[in-house]
Structure 1
Amino acid sequence: MTSSAETPAETAGQGSAQSADQAEGTARPIRANSVLPARRTPLALETADGLTLVGEVAQPLDRAPTATLVCVHPLPTHGGMMDSHIYRKAAYRLPALAGLAVVRFNTRGTRSVQGVSEGEFDGGSAERFDVAAALEYAEFADLPRIWLVGWSFGSDLVLMHGCDPEVEGAILLSPSLRFSRPEHLALWADSGKPLTALVPEFDDYLRPAEARERFAAVPQAEVIGIDGGKHLWVGDAERILDEIVARVAPEVGPLPTTWTGPMEYADASAYADRTVAAFADVPVPGDLTSEG
């Protein structure tokens, strides 16, 4: 895999950030589109089956990262992408606030403001090459303590293809268990690697009580029900980022809600066509009746 030259440290990417006018030293609230300083590098990930995937790594500006998040996005046929809001906010905030490296990428055939990955959606099968390419990048870049974070469809990809020797653990957001099977859970059970599932109270596919039953196959799995949460985590980003950091970098503690250093603001209007309403009539792939 290859990567292009680094972008300026305070840039959100693709010219989407706007500078804040307030002077440094003044505590300002961290808002949905606040972009904190980081070293941001565009990536071109090469898969074993010959595709090039668009990605980005964001690292702390003034220190080495203490751990790494490799983020696997929701279903691309329904708007999922590397820029889905939880992952944007992770890349915008966690290098500065928690000392983490954040790797994001578009799986095959997925487009976002960052660009379009080659190939076509394959329902979770050929995406194994995509997950492998991202992990290979993190390993060869000597990024420390690799954790996978999968959201919805991405959680299935993590379960199916992410139990790699170099992976320390995994965090699943809104896991649906619609593409993965019992044998994938068994693999994680045998590995002993930490596995945390953050399950919304009002999820569309898998709610906390059923999730606890299904993940009982993985003795070390931690299932956390999020009161009031929904599948897309709208309004819950801060809680989710806190839960992620609590497992990957517990020494950091709850993330601050204000920032005194440089801050920019990203333009979220580019994602106006990725709303739930925009995909309301698109069939959702996957086995709705699967018990695995």
Structure 2
Amino acid sequence: MDIRASTVLPAERRPVTLHTADGLGLVGELALPAGTDPVATLICLHPLPTHQGMMDSHVLRKASFRLPALAGVAVLRFNTRGTTSRHGTSEGEFGEGETERHDVAAAIEFAEFEGLPRPWLLGWSFGTELALKWGCDPEVAGAILLSPPLHRATDADLDVWARSGKPLVALVPELDDYLRPAEARERFARVPQAEVIGVDNARHLWVGEPYVRIVLDEVVRRVAPGAHPLPTEWDGPYEKDVL
């Protein structure tokens, strides 16, 4: 069977609540490989909630549907403060990327408490800003950035990552609305270990199964290289997403 946009592969999935230092409960879901320990963890940071970004934004949703089974990777998704998805609404209000520092910290702390191995941040658009500003934590192995706009994140934030030496990978669509590959390479040049990958013909929202596969392949190449490249077919049980 070909793996399609709606394919949901087996995993142990459970709802979770993240608790922030400023007293909020954030709605989330943890997807674990079925019957085996994960080899790495993705902490997903979603696009801008004022523009319909949420934990169910399609690339993050598909990561949770596929990567536990295909790559042995645990996937933690959650709604930042004030954000709604089909999983529910997180407490609080949108904080323009500032009070969300507590949300990022809560997710990292949850991964540590659960004993999840090698947590990587996977940020998309607004989520890349949160990763760059608040995610360079000792517990974090590295970060993968999808469509980074570099609006809120500053050179000072990039310098923190530069000093850390932690891997920083930016997947930049050729036709992005905010930051395209040539400019991205200039901006990220101050982070010696940063890798900027331009993706031909892709756009900010990564619409289309071919682009989702490129993203997930590049993610797995970093966090679970033994599972790269990801297969495009599946012979076992599966479900279909109803979203």
1: CA distance, partners of 2:228 / 2:17? 33
Q: Which of 89, 102, 107 is the aligned partner of 1:129?
A: 102
Partner SS for 1:95: helix
2:139 pairs with one of 163, 166, 173: 166
Deviation per residue, 1:263-282 (Å, 9 max, x gap): 100112xxxxxxxxxxxxxx
Q: Secondary structure at the match of 1:259?
A: coil
How many Å separate the matches in 2 of 1:188 and 1:253? Answer: 26
1:140 is aligned to: 113
Specify the alignment match of 2:19 in structure 1: 46
The corresponding residue for 1:153 is: 126
Among 224, 231, 234, the alignment partner of 1:259 is 234
Q: Which amino acid aligns with 2:143?
A: A
Q: What is the TM-score of this pair, normalised by structure 1?
A: 0.82
- Following TM superposition, by how much is the alpha carbon of 1:131 offset from its aligned partner in structure 2, in angstroms? 0.4
1-side partners of 2:227 and 2:12: how far apart? 20
Alignment pair present for 1:66 and 2:39: yes
What number of residue pairs does the alignment pair up?
241
Give the C-alpha shift of residue 99 in structure 1. Answer: 0.2
Residue type at the aligned position of 2:49: P
Letter of the 2:121 partner, please give it.
L
In 2, Cα distance between equivalents of 1:239 and 1:191: 27
Matched, 1:213 2:186: yes
Q: Does 1:36 align with 2:9?
A: yes
What is the match of residue 94 of structure 1? 67
**Runs of 4+ off more than 3 Å:** none
CA distance in structure 2 between the aligned counterparts of 1:265 and 1:90, rounded to whole angstroms? 14
Superposition deviation, residue 251 in structure 1: 1.2
TM-score, with structure 2 as normaliser: 0.98
The yes-or-no answer on 1:240 pairing with 2:196 is: no
Structure 2: how far apart are the matches of 1:238 and 1:166? 28
From the CA coordinates, give the structure whose radius of gyration is larger.
Answer: 1
For structure 2, list consecutive stretches of 5 or more residues without a partner in the other structure: none
CA distance in 1, matches of 2:2, 2:151: 38
Shift of 1:177: 0.4
Per the alignment, in what secondary structure is the counterpart of residue 130 of structure 1? helix
Q: CA deviation at 1:204?
A: 0.4
1:124 partner letter: G
1:205 Cα deviation from its structure 2 partner: 0.3
CA deviation profile, 1:240-282 (whole Å, cap 9, x unmatched): 00010001111112111111111100112xxxxxxxxxxxxxx
Percent identity, please: 66
CA apart distance, 1:52: 0.4
Partner of 1:82: 55
Q: RMSD over aligned Cα, in angstroms? A: 0.5
State the secondary structure of the residue aligned to 1:101.
strand
SS of the counterpart of 2:189? helix
Instruction: Report whether the alignment pairs 1:183 with 2:146.
Output: no
- In the aligned structure 2, how far is the partner of 1:254 from the partner of 1:84? 23
**Equivalent position amino acid for 1:146 in 2:** P
Determine the structure 2 residue equivalent to 1:271.
none
SS of the aligned residue for 2:41 comes to strand
